[in-house]
């Protein structure tokens, strides 16, 4: 009799798990189709449209006439950069949000993007650096600012609100440094710095894509290895420790992986506004949460960057970098979260 009761009690839970798995698979499939469609659209249609056969011929390396230059030299690097940058921002932002159990805990909000941006402006305006040197300075600054924020917020509450509040304070300070540097910068350097700060994939080249791909493999792999423990951290520190999770070590690995992803993406395309912030909540709504939220968030980030870049280039009255488009989408979303928190008594 006891066995029958236990089986009956377990049936609803098993049904809920199966339903959640089906929903996650459907969400991932939908995001995959969106990515394939956006990639095909971007490679085929720009200022002029190319037949799909010509695009495929150019991609295979065969002689496609003028289509070869348009596809392989102009459009393909931009598509690949948008794809890998979006994946990095989406994965990094969602990792922070899941780890800290707060949708405001994204690199846009807690100062990591601001640190990379301030360092890049310093490199451009003061040191007169360009290209790879600026990217290297941005990556180093992103890692350094993350270490600083982690150190300042260490102790009780570092896993939640304290880290976010410290990050917001550091971000405000870094933004003021950026404004001061731009105030007295020469016109040419100011324009270059502002272009970088806006977030753009204009002029992307294949040689710039490979370091971001390498970062995605290394830090994304580290994040994948920590996915189970990260999922258990959502239950709270005490419950996670009871299940054998070393919470501090897991947070360190996840933070390192997320910061690495965001820093390399920022170094390549600038701090593309709100992609890291938006990807996690959108993925959670699509999948219903659970372990699939990280891959779904990465794919969501890629969709946002690809769609935002295409819209900014070809669907709006003026040509705009992708960061302007994603910022226009993300700002109302942030206000929506705050209004939702007010209605729910402070719960986001």
For residue 129, being part of any structural domain is answered with yes
Average pLDDT, integer, range 250-267: 87
| Residue 331, C-beta contacts closer than 8 angstroms, at least 6 positions apart | 274
Q: Count the neighbouring beta carbons within 10 Å of the beta carbon of residue 35.
A: 19
Residue from 76, 81, 84 nearest 217 by CA: 84
Residue from 327, 299, 301 nearest 312 by CA: 327
pLDDT at site 233 = 74
pLDDT at site 126 = 86
What's the CA gap between 147 and 133, in Å, rounded?
Answer: 21
For residue 114, being part of any structural domain is answered with yes
For residue 65, being part of any structural domain is answered with yes
Across 15-29, 64-78, 93-107, 259-273, the highest mean pLDDT is recorded for: 259-273
Q: Please say whether the beta carbons of 28 and 296 come within 8 A.
A: yes
Q: Please say whether the beta carbons of 176 and 184 come within 8 A.
A: no
Residue from 319, 294, 345 nearest 92 by CA: 294
For residue 28, being part of any structural domain is answered with no
For residue 268, being part of any structural domain is answered with yes
Average pLDDT, integer, range 135-163: 76
Q: Can you give the CATH number for the domain in which 249 is found?
A: 1.10.3470.10
pLDDT at site 12 = 57
Q: Please say whether the beta carbons of 190 and 135 come within 8 A.
A: no
Instruction: Provide the percentage of residues in the chain whose pLDDT is more than 90.
Output: 20
Confidence (pTM):
0.87
For residue 2, being part of any structural domain is answered with no
Across 15-19, 140-144, 198-202, 307-311, the highest mean pLDDT is recorded for: 307-311
The residue range of the domain holding 244 is 33-339
Whether residue 15 is predicted with pLDDT greater than 60 in this model: the reply is no
How many domains are there within the chain? 1
Whether residue 3 is predicted with pLDDT greater than 60 in this model: the reply is no
Residue from 285, 258, 299 nearest 82 by CA: 299
> Between the CA of residue 101 and those of 51, 81, 95, what are the distances in Å?
47, 30, 10
pLDDT digits (tens, 9 = 90+) for 207-238: 889 999 999 999 999 998 888 878 777 776 67
DSSP single-letter state for residue 45: B
For residue 124, being part of any structural domain is answered with yes
What's the CA gap between 245 and 238, in Å, rounded?
Answer: 9
pLDDT at site 344 = 59
DSSP 231-278: HHHTT-HHHHHHTT--HHHHHHHHHHHHHHHHHHHHHHH---TTHHHH
Residue from 231, 256, 223, 212 nearest 86 by CA: 212
Whether residue 76 is predicted with pLDDT greater than 80 in this model: the reply is yes
For residue 226, being part of any structural domain is answered with yes
Q: Please say whether the beta carbons of 86 and 275 come within 8 A.
A: yes
């Amino acid at each position: 009799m006891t066995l029958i009761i236990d089986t009956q009690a377990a049936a609803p839970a098993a049904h809920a798990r199966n339903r959640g798995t089906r929903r996650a698979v459907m969400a991932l499939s939908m995001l995959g189709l969106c990515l394939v469609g956006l990639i095909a659209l971007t490679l085929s249609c720009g200022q002029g449209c190319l037949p799909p056969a010509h695009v495929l011929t150019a991609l295979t390396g065969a002689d496609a006439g003028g289509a070869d230059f348009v596809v392989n030299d102009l459009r393909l690097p931009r598509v690949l950069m948008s794809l890998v940058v979006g994946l990095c921002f989406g994965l990094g932002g969602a990792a922070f949000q899941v780890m800290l159990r707060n949708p405001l805990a994204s690199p846009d909000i807690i100062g990591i993007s601001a640190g990379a941006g301030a360092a890049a402006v310093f490199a451009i305006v003061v040191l007169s650096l360009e290209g790879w040197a600026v990217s290297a300075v941005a990556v180093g600054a992103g890692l350094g600012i993350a270490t600083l924020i982690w150190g300042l917020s260490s102790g009780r509450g570092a896993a939640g609100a304290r880290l976010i509040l410290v990050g917001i304070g550091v971000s405000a300070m870094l933004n003021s440094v950026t404004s001061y540097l731009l105030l007295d910068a020469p016109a040419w350097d100011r324009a270059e710095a502002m272009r970088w700060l806006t977030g753009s994939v204009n002029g992307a080249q294949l040689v710039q894509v490979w370091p971001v791909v390498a970062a995605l493999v290394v830090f994304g792999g580290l994040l994948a290895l920590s996915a189970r423990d990260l999922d258990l951290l959502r239950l709270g520190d005490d419950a996670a420790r009871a299940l054998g999770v070393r919470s501090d070590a897991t947070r360190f690995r996840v933070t390192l992986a997320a910061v690495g992803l965001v820093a390399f993406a920022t170094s390549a395309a600038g701090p593309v506004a709100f992609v890291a912030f938006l990807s996690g909540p959108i993925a959670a709504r699509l999948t219903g949460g659970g372990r699939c939220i990280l891959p779904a968030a990465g794919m969501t980030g890629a969709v946002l960057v690809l769609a935002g870049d295409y819209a900014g280039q070809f669907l709006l009255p003026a040509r705009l970098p992708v960061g302007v488009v994603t910022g226009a989408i993300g700002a109302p979303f942030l206000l929506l979260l705050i209004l939702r928190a007010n209605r729910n008594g402070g719960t986001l």
